[in-house]
Amino acid sequence: MAEEAAQEQRSPDPTRSVRCIVKLGGAAITNKGELESINENNLRSACAQLRQAMSESNSDGAPEKVLGMDWSRKRGDSADPAVDAEWITGMAGLGLETNFIVVHGAGSFGHFQASRSGVHKGGLHSTLVKAGFVATRISVTSLNQEIVRALARGIQNSLLCPLLCAVGPSIVITRLPVGTSDEKNHGTAYSFAEGIPSVGMSPFACGWTTKQRKLASSNTSQIIQSLHAGFVPVLHGDAVLDELLDCTILSGDVIIRHLAQLLSPKYVVFLVLLPSLLCCGFKSFCHLWKMTDVHGVYDRPPTEPDAVLLREIEVDEDGRWSIVKPVLLQGNNNKGVEISVASHDTTGGMETKILEAAVIARLGIDVYITKAGTDHSLRALKGDVSTDTEDWLGTVIRSSR
């Protein structure tokens, strides 16, 4: 049904073809152990790497002028934003290749509200479910707004420049490379300036619906028009209406699969910070482990000493996959795969992620899964990935054709 809907919708102008669809994993950008808590460092790093991947010029380490686009006054600001309209008017452009789409997970936002009220099970006749539907959307849309702000912002706090912050948030600032010493400002220059023209879009508000939890309708015209206009759409998993169940949760991974079918990006990137995404023949208790040195898909729980990172997986036309690299595991397939889902995860968790990645790969679109906030994630965002060498850590899922 979703595939038919995708075929009926018009394709984007070839001159504005989508380069990459990025999934910011909920566990990577939030603190999943703390209700509605954003992992500021990880989110900041992901946004900075997205700007680097979009940049039309090869950075040589020189300071870069960045136009901040969050002109709202935030709590604690001592003055209104300072907007240099004349300078902005004279800008030749943003210097960014904005043909990206960002989809983020909910992490510690939304899952608690949805699971406590049973929104994913449906039944809006229940007062609890109806209240939970509202609570879930408040939570996930608040996270979406914070991510859009992080992508669009010009300056984050007074660590960058005490002088500018004394007169209010700066809209046009000089962006220095992360960790660059700035003697004039007596400290280290932090990379808080991204200036990415991002617009938040909620599937519920755009008319996305499901039928028995399967995607039934999806109006993507606003996404396509925004891409044509030079914006970066930022979507998220959401509470949506269901034709049979009244309501349910639409996973961000399902959204990515549908957009990949419709828009045919050059590649898809999953930025994660999880214990593992898949274990061949072993059960993965993802919600019990707290690990930061896991880079993709493994052949067994990565806590085990002999766990091996699966660098390349091929998916055939029937959806069966086989390990290509490392060579010592060639011939293994997806029989007997068991994946557990954390009790609070209402979107299908790791199983949904892997199944949707396999569907995307069958379209002939490479899928890169790697740890967020690393050199490997930056290379993935740039599409600079090769499994012929050992210097990139992650998993590539691609078609066997």
- The Cα–Cα gap between 313 and 348 comes to 21
Reading the block at residue 175, the tokens are: 């962006």
Are the C-beta atoms of 178 and 194 separated by less than 8 Å?
no
In a domain, 73, yes or no: no
- Counting residues of the chain whose pLDDT is more than 70, the rounded percentage is 73
Which tens digits make up the pLDDT trace of 1-41?
555 545 444 444 444 689 999 999 998 999 978 999 999 99
Dihedral angle sign, alpha carbons of residues 205, 213, 1, 399:
positive
Q: Calculate mean pLDDT across residues 123-143.
A: 98
The total number of structural domains in the chain stands at 1
Residue 322 has pLDDT above 60, yes or no: yes
Least confident range from 91-95, 212-216, 218-222, 394-398: namely: 91-95
In tens, the pLDDT along 161-181 reads 333 333 344 454 444 444 443
- Supply the range of the domain harboring residue 400: 273-401
Determine if the peptide bond prior to 326 is cis (ω within 30°): yes
Categorize the per-residue pLDDT at 154 as very low, low, confident or very high, splitting at 50, 70 and 90.
low
Contact in structure between 203 and 241 (CB atoms under 8 Å)? no
pLDDT tens column, 345-361: 444 445 556 778 888 99
Residue 287 has pLDDT above 60, yes or no: no
Instruction: Report yes or no on 151 lying in a domain.
Output: no
Ranges 214-223, 297-306, 348-357, 384-393: which has the least confidence:
348-357
In a domain, 75, yes or no: no
Weakest mean pLDDT among 120-129, 135-144, 323-332, 367-376: 323-332
Asked whether the beta carbons of 337 and 282 are under 8 A apart, the reply is: no
At 214 the three-state DSSP class reads strand
Examine the pLDDT at 391 and tell me if it is beyond 70: yes
Q: Are the C-beta atoms of 27 and 272 separated by less than 8 Å?
A: yes
Residue 343 lies in a domain: yes
In a domain, 182, yes or no: no
* Mean pLDDT value across the chain: 78
Identify whether 247 is part of a domain: no
